[in-house]
Amino acid sequence: MLAISSITLMPVVLGRRFRIYIPAEFQILAILFVFAALFLGEIHRYYDRLWWWDIALHASAGLLLGIFGFLLVYVLNENKRAELSMRPRFIAFFAFLFSVAMSALWEIFEFAMDQIFGTNMQKPMLGDDSGLTDTMWDLIVNVIGALIISLLGWRYLVRGKRSFIEVWIAKFIDRNPRLFSRYDKHPPDED
C-alpha cells in the first residue's frame, strides 16, 4: 500500500522537479482513485461486497490513463521545440494505446504478485476461480474508458468541442508556458 500511495504523489514530485504544473483536477482524481482502490476496496472489502467495484475502478483507470496519454502527446505535438506535427487521429490513437498498454502492464503486475507472493489481486469472478475472467473484464473496461477519452480528445482537436479535457489542456498550457514557447532562448538566425 505504501508503494501505491507513493506513486500517487509522483505527479506532485515530478511536477516540482521539472517545474511542470499538473492540473489539480487530475491530482484529485488520482488520489480519489487510490482511496477507492485501497481504503474502500481492500480495507473495507468493497471488492468482495460490491460485484461491480473492480469494474468501476478499472474503467476509471482507463479514463485517467487515457487523459494522461492524451496530455503527454498533445504537449509534444504543441511544443515548437519538439518539431513534431501529429494529426488529431494519431494523438487520439496514442492516448488510447497508452492507456491500454498501461492497463495490460497492471494486469501483468497483478498476475506476478499472485504467482510470486501469493496475493489475491486477480479475484475469482463469475464462477471462475483462476482470475482469468477478472483479468479479461478489467482489460475490457479499461479499453472502453480509453476509447471514451480518445474520442473526446479527437473531437476536441478536430471540432473544438468543449469538454473537460479541453479545460484541463487549457490549464496545462496556461500554467506551463515554457513548454510551449517557440524558441529556447534565442530565435534561429534568419536566412
19-31 pLDDT, tens digit per residue, is: 777 777 877 888 8
The whole-angstrom separation of Cα 143 and Cα 63 is 9
Pair 38, 1: CB distance under 8 Å: yes
Sign of CA pseudo-dihedral 155, 67, 109, 97 = positive
Q: What is the pLDDT of residue 183?
A: 40
Q: For position 53, what pLDDT does the model report?
A: 92
Model pLDDT, residue 44: 92
**Close Cβ partners of 31 (under 8 Å, ≥ 6 residues apart):** 8
d(CA 25, CA 172): 11
Q: C-alpha distances in angstroms, 108 versus 31, 139, 176?
A: 23, 11, 34
Low-confidence ranges of the chain (pLDDT < 70): 1-8, 10-11, 14, 18, 79-82, 161-162, 166, 180-191
pTM over 0.75: yes
How many Cα atoms occupy the beta-carbon half-sphere of 158 within 13 Å?
Answer: 12
Contact between residue 139 and residue 65 where contact means Cβ atoms under 8 Å apart: no
